[in-house]
Amino acid sequence: MGSYLSLTTRLGLMFSIAMLAVWSLVSLVLMQALEHHFARQDQTDIQGKIILIKNFIADQSPGNEQSWPLLQARLNDVISGHGGYYLLIKDNQGKVLASTTPIQRQQPGMNRPFPVAHSLPLQETWMEEGIRYRSITEQLVIPQSGPGAPGAIMIRVALDTRYHQHFIDEIKVGLAWLTGGIALLSVLFGWLASRTGLKPLRSLASLSSRITANKLDHRLSLHDAPSELHAPIQTFNDMLDRLENSFQRLTAFSSDIAHELRTPVNSLMMQTQVALSQPRATEEYKEALYANLETAERMARMIGEMLFLAKSEQGQLTMQSEPLTLEDELDELLEFFEPLASEQQVHLHREGQGRLLGDKSMLQRAFSNLLTNAIRYTPASGEVRIVIDGNEKGITVQVINPGPAIAPEKWPRLFDRFYRADSAREPVTEGTGLGLAITQAIITAHHGNISVHSDAQATCFRVWFPATEHH
């Protein structure tokens, strides 16, 4: 059944049980302290009565048994006025010399055997007919003043403690009612405290139910939440931030895909419609087909690049890492790009060296994208430089080229999909707008990072890889 109780109810019950446990312990200690206090007070009072009786007997100096009946009446006067006290005096042979009982009361078990002298004084407590009695038994030695004198007598004084019991019983009844009231209040306050404390969790549940793909801007406030819930609330808000950012990127990506694919598709349709609009020669059809093939290849390249980026974001890139000598790999790329650079009258230069553990084909693709952009935007007679610098922390590769500067506010967006900063440099190019995004994905997959800096003198793409151990 406990599994069906709400968290608020469970916390309220636990709070109530804890409160009742503490109150029960306090009540128990209180009752024990009261009973102990009354016990000491009773023993002190009884002891005082015994001393009073001893002094009285010593002053009277009873010489024989015949004098005790006269003392009996006077002992009654001594004990009278002290309700609840009982007196019994015996000689060594067990003969009762004096006995005093309060008016309209029966004497409790006073005639129980007297203890031996060496165990005196003796304190006793017993229950009789639901009443607790306490007593003290002591011995008094009387000087021998004649024949038949008792010599030594046993004095026992008992006290009826029912007036204490009445007081304690009233306290117990009061504590019982108070315990019931505390139980009800603790349940109420525990439920209220739990409900108030768990309000952020209910807000969390309510917020979760309202979240949709179109409503990701809701956040939970930390202002009124208890400190114990700050971490999960902050984690939940961070999750919403990531979801919102991912949906925004996905929405933008979908829009960009539609925009980028619409142009080549429209081009295909238009070229095909023009070709079919009237009979044409075979050569004209071939030219139209070649144009369509070029557009289709561009679309296929774009689709392949988008699939590559999708795999990189899902961590599904298959990498075959191996020790690489960066200067050899980059020299190979420079040799491949030499004809393109010569055609545009651009010089290529590499300096520095370093070793890296990485995927050869992926890194060649990343640096190919950087070199393609660098050669494209370098003016005639300009030089594209690749600088390799390594230390114990990692390896840095810089691709530097002169050319028009890129505005600083555009630097962070250069690595976004389909973003082009061509308006700041040269007219629109034939690229897909995915090259730098793919480069960043490859560098990130190698646990590195890429950044850009551009001014009037040159544009520099800086790639950093962490140091790795080679075997």
**pLDDT of the residue at 153:** 84
**pLDDT of the residue at 304:** 77
**pLDDT of the residue at 127:** 85
Q: Give the span between the Cα atoms of 28 and 415, in whole angstroms.
A: 75
414 burial type by CB count under 10 A (0-12 exposed, 13-18 middle, 19+ buried): buried
Identical fold at 227-313 and 321-466? Answer: no
**pLDDT of the residue at 346:** 93
Provide the sign of the torsion angle of the four alpha carbons 403, 406, 411, 415, taken in this order.
negative
Indicate the pTM of the whole model: 0.48
**pLDDT of the residue at 424:** 40
Q: Give the span between the Cα atoms of 88 and 12, in whole angstroms.
A: 59
Q: Which CATH architecture has domain 321-466?
A: 2-Layer Sandwich (3.30)
**pLDDT of the residue at 334:** 92
Q: Give the span between the Cα atoms of 471 and 351, in whole angstroms.
A: 25
Q: What is the distance of C-alpha 56 from the center of its chain?
A: 77
Tokens for 297, please give them.
């290849």
Our CA angle for 178, 184, 189, nearest 5°, is 115
Question: pLDDT tens for residues 145-167?
Answer: 555 555 788 888 888 888 888 88
Q: What is the dihedral of CA 326, 327, 332, 336, to 10 degrees?
A: 100
Question: Could you tell me which of 383, 427, 425, 385 has the C-alpha nearest to residue 405?
Answer: 425
DSSP string, 359-428: EHHHHHHHHHHHHHHHHHHSPTT-EEEEEEEE-SSEEEEEEEE-SSPPPGGGTGGGGSTT---GGGSSS-
**pLDDT of the residue at 470:** 47
* Residues constituting the chain: 471
Q: Give the span between the Cα atoms of 47 and 53, in whole angstroms.
A: 10
Topology (CATH) of 227-313? Helix Hairpins (1.10.287)
Contact 434, 309 (CB under 8 A): yes
Segments in the chain below pLDDT 70: 1-5, 7, 61-67, 80-83, 103-118, 143-150, 204, 208, 211, 213-214, 224-226, 228, 253, 256, 259-260, 313-316, 419-432, 469-471
**pLDDT of the residue at 425:** 42
Q: Where are the chain's structural domains?
A: 2-169, 227-313, 321-466
Top CATH class of 2-169 equals alpha beta
